[in-house]
Chains A and B, each alone.
Chain A
Amino acid sequence: MIKKITTPDDLIRIKKQTRTFEKVPEKGVHVAVGMNTCGMASGAKETMAAFRESLAYYDLDAKVFRTGCAGMCFYEPLVDVFLPGQPRITYKGLSCDGVSRVVEDHILGGQVVENWVLAQTVVGDKRLPGIPTYDEIPYCRGQHKIVLARCGHIDPEDIYQYIAMDGYAASAKALEMDPEQVIDTIRRSGLRGRGGAGFPTGLKWQFVREAKGHPKYIICNADEGDPGAFMDRSILEGDPHAVLEGMLIAAYAVGATRGYIYVRAEYPLAVERLRKAIQQACDLGLLGPNIFGSDFSFDIRLKLGAGAFVCGEETALIASIEGKRGMPHPRPPFPAQNGLWGKPTNINNVETYANVAPIISNGAEWYAAIGTPDSRGTKVFCVTGKIKHSGLIEVPMGTSLRKIVYDIGGGITAGRAFKAVQTGGPSGGVLPEALLDLGVGYKELAEAGSIMGSGGMVVMDENTCMADVARYFLSFTRSESCGKCTPCREGLTRLYEILDRICKGNGHADDLDRLESLATTIKDTALCGLGLSAPNPVLTVLKYFREEIEAHIFEQRCPAGVCPDLVWYRINADRCSGCGQCRRACPVEAIVGRPKVPHEIDRMKCVKCGTCLEVCPPRFHAVECVSGQVADEPQAVSSER
């Protein structure tokens, strides 16, 4: 292998010499196990160890590889089996117990194990009957992978596999261009920041290039803090070099010599893989002095964040790198003029950088042809919540929410009805069913009162109370407020307090106005993006789910049956068979009744845990959760009856 890469030809030589695990040698066997955090949480480590053990036991000429997340977190552990001349077979949910069967039946016996098979990837014209290809799986249809293209196809800890899949070719190409040409390409591609605000990336780079000051810095914002968002983590764990390469190109374009990746310490695997990737890139001369034999030098350092949500805000992040408390400062001045250590600084997030190399390789026009006129390219979303297939998807901008929720996400769990989807993390807006045909784009989401954010998408079903949801998100943002500006520090708490009393049935008639004016003023006066967007859940809930809030205030009723203070449980005597399941399950002995006689709930004792409702056999459906109906005064039921 080449010791140092000094010319683009060196890259081509490495590419020729390197086999990714997708190219199986004759008589060889390759097994690739998804070893991102999601895979490991589902037992991928054990699955991998079991493969190693089993393959060694049969003395097979086999290699076991680790790979990143292909996006289908709900199917982890995912395992790919490659046999020479055979389609690649992907197994889902393969715990270590199933490994020996896969080895014996499939690898040794040539028979695909149907229990766990998910899909095949056809090689040549050889297709196995009865197994869908990826394109035939609804989850994958409609996706367009640019950022996640390599995730699941390479070992993220091996730079050679990255190079084998055209890695660092874009940086070689970029370094032969003028920096202005590079910026122009990014500008023409229409790429906008994927961190939330959607500022045009090319324009930002141009500002940094034109800014006076030396040295200049590049920062990668990998402080992904939105609950339920893990796009950046998956990219860092599955394809870390894509981010390094994007930073390298950006540094060349803006004239920076040092880069920082600000990554959360709560992402230990991403940190480890980034460390290895930086080391490998340094070893090969792709980072450090005189890259590709040019006079351009660039190095990257890691800075670990300590878990403050606000440090995702760029000025707070910069303060944190400088060793100060992570608190934002007013912009202007923007980091492009006055950033890290007061120097011009370009700051983009992980996904933005991961888009850079493909744009340089394939051209601005190729990228600009994807998506909508306002929002070009693709976007990675983390679809979570009450959805069948929660995981990572990459779709062209403009894809409708309906397609994401129903076609890709598989619809709502347990056959329930869709109620709302929240885009953009805890400070995004909550959008109702009527807006499901909205295409995802910066402008479209903003007009609907929400934000693109970094790509979190939380799906909610009919059993979700929107007052409770707004309260929940406020409880998050108010405790993550840095405390600097008044509207965010004090205002979010007051919003929370009002929502809390509404959820408890103590809302006042003027609380709706109070919420609205407070939320609007916070959005008008807060210092940074956290405070400016935190009222979004409240405002969208008021806009789209107003009746539900009104029901809480004026009828003391929670229509979704969620708010504990507004619901109570009763047993429908006509339906109850007296089976006693609820009586036995009740943790506070609030249910009384003799066998085969309808039971009753003592409302004085009931703690509204809902266990009785859960355990009541569906054929009876006797336990009811009731809210807001005029009820008899709660009466203690004698247990001797």
Chain B
Amino acid sequence: MAKTISLTINGKRITTVPGTTILMAARQVGIRIPTLCYHPRLSATGSCRVCMVEVRGRPTLMPSCTTTVEDGMEVVTANDRVLEARRLIVQLLLASGNHNCLTCQSNGACELQKLAYDLGIEALAFPARSSGYPRDDSNAMIERDPDKCILCSRCVRACQEVQVNEVLDFGYRGRRSKIVTAWDLPYAESDCVFCGECVSVCPTGALTEKQAKFQGRPWELKKVRTTCPYCGTGCQLDLNVRDGRVVKVTSDTLHGPPNYGSLCVKGRFGYDFIHHPDRLTAPLVRHKEGFRKASWDEALDLVASRFSQIKQSYGADALAGLSSARCTNEENYLFQKLMRTAIGTNNIDHCARL
């Protein structure tokens, strides 16, 4: 039998397995420890120091996200010492940069804002100081505002560990610290592939979807789960819809296959076709002067009759089917079934094989 570890958190006895962090052990029994730099998909770095807890016998507070449990450990997650430290840390972050919630795209979805509220912070303890770094507005997809960045490094780890693009890292030192691309170039000139993984993990408004700016507040958006149509992977998308318009695409399937919250540039940012005026919304049938709108029934009947004509005149093997990698497995299955049974040919192939 595997060894178990017994400890107490806030006086509550807990038995868990070795290697569990204090944070996880606390969550197992429903004790909430606030976090900021912690993210379930990323390695824990213990850098924000918000999840500090008191461990009896240790001279300093310990970060619960990186400290693993030990037998007999006595943990306190919220006494005066812990709360005072936590408040001061959040105060320091609130005063770094320019956290103006009123105009922030992430207002209502910001973890720093929520923390400040939960800790009962009413006024800034320190005068706010801008980072002095300009906004990176270099591209059509991601907007970076260093003045809202709290250097939690989630974006860095997401880029390095999840996407393994390794575009981001810390630059400079001390209060001049900044999340940078190589040579501190704007995103557009960097190696960034605009997958938006960094945006998806950012706890504040430092990294936001540019197309969604001023299109809707987090609480105004209705999320509609769908499957990405771009390829056969089947990534789960959440269309963020306001007033019948898709204003943003996210993926909140943190723990779910196949994409576990990750998306590519097309899935995340390539949705402008949805409401584009050039988009085809009905079948078109060609005639002498060009195209004319038709109903689905008319269009499908036309296709079926022409296919039947060809089959009668030249045999079933005169027809061939080529399906698309953008279809799902199920669609591909149905397509080959159609070709083999309805048309009666084995001439069926798929673009991914080319």
A residues within 8 Å of B by Cβ?
308, 310, 325, 327, 329-330, 332, 478-487, 489-494, 497, 517-518, 521, 523-527, 532
User: B173–A525 contact, CB under 8 A?
Assistant: no
Contact of A483 among B48, B61, B95, B173 (CB under 8 A): B173
**B47, B60, B170, B174 pick with most chain A CB within 10 angstroms:** B174
B residues within 8 Å of A by Cβ?
45-50, 52, 60-61, 63, 66-68, 81, 84-85, 88-89, 92-93, 95-96, 126, 150-151, 153, 169-170, 172-177
Q: A325-B170, A330-B66 are in contact. Are A484 and B45 (CB under 8 A)?
A: yes
Q: A478-B175, A481-B173 are in contact. Are A491 and B92 (CB under 8 A)?
A: yes
Q: A330-B63, A525-B61, A527-B49 are in contact. Are A486 and B89 (CB under 8 A)?
A: yes
User: B175–A489 contact, CB under 8 A?
Assistant: yes
Q: A485-B47, A485-B49, A490-B95 are in contact. Are A524 and B174 (CB under 8 A)?
A: no
**A491, A497, A523 pick with most chain B CB within 10 angstroms:** A491
Considering the chains assembled together, what is the distance between the CA atoms of A479 and B175 in angstroms? 7
Considering the chains assembled together, what is the distance between the CA atoms of A493 and B172 in angstroms? 15
User: B89–A525 contact, CB under 8 A?
Assistant: yes
User: B174–A479 contact, CB under 8 A?
Assistant: yes
Chain B residues with CB under 8 Å of A525's CB are: 49, 52, 60-61, 85, 89
Chain B residues with CB under 8 Å of A521's CB are: 84-85, 88-89
User: A490–B92 contact, CB under 8 A?
Assistant: yes
User: B174–A487 contact, CB under 8 A?
Assistant: no
Chain A residues with CB under 8 Å of B49's CB are: 485-487, 525-527
**Chain B: minimal CB distance from A496 (Å):** 9
User: B68–A332 contact, CB under 8 A?
Assistant: yes
Is chain A's binding surface mostly helix, strand, loop or mixed?
A: helix
Q: A483-B170, A490-B92 are in contact. Are A524 and B60 (CB under 8 A)?
A: yes
User: A518–B88 contact, CB under 8 A?
Assistant: yes
User: A527–B93 contact, CB under 8 A?
Assistant: no
Considering the chains assembled together, what is the distance between the CA atoms of A490 and B112 in angstroms? 15
Chain B residues with CB under 8 Å of A479's CB are: 173-174, 176
Chain A residues with CB under 8 Å of B95's CB are: 490, 494
**Chain B: minimal CB distance from A269 (Å):** 27
User: B172–A483 contact, CB under 8 A?
Assistant: yes
Chain A residues with CB under 8 Å of B81's CB are: 524
Considering the chains assembled together, what is the distance between the CA atoms of A524 and B82 in angstroms? 10
User: B174–A489 contact, CB under 8 A?
Assistant: yes
- Name 15 interchain pairs, CB-CB below 8 A, sorted by A: A327-B170, A329-B46, A330-B67, A478-B174, A483-B151, A486-B49, A486-B50, A486-B150, A487-B49, A487-B88, A524-B85, A525-B52, A525-B85, A526-B49, A527-B46
Q: A483-B151, A492-B174, A525-B52 are in contact. Are A532 and B47 (CB under 8 A)?
A: no
Considering the chains assembled together, what is the distance between the CA atoms of A482 and B52 in angstroms? 20
**Chain A residue with the shortest CB-CB distance to B152:** A486
A-B CB proximity, top 4 nearest? A483-B177, A490-B92, A330-B46, A481-B174
Chain B residues with CB under 8 Å of A494's CB are: 92, 95, 126
User: B47–A527 contact, CB under 8 A?
Assistant: yes
Considering the chains assembled together, what is the distance between the CA atoms of A483 and B92 in angstroms? 13
**Chain B: minimal CB distance from A622 (Å):** 43
Chain B residues with CB under 8 Å of A527's CB are: 46-47, 49, 63
Contact of B169 among A325, A486, A526 (CB under 8 A): A325
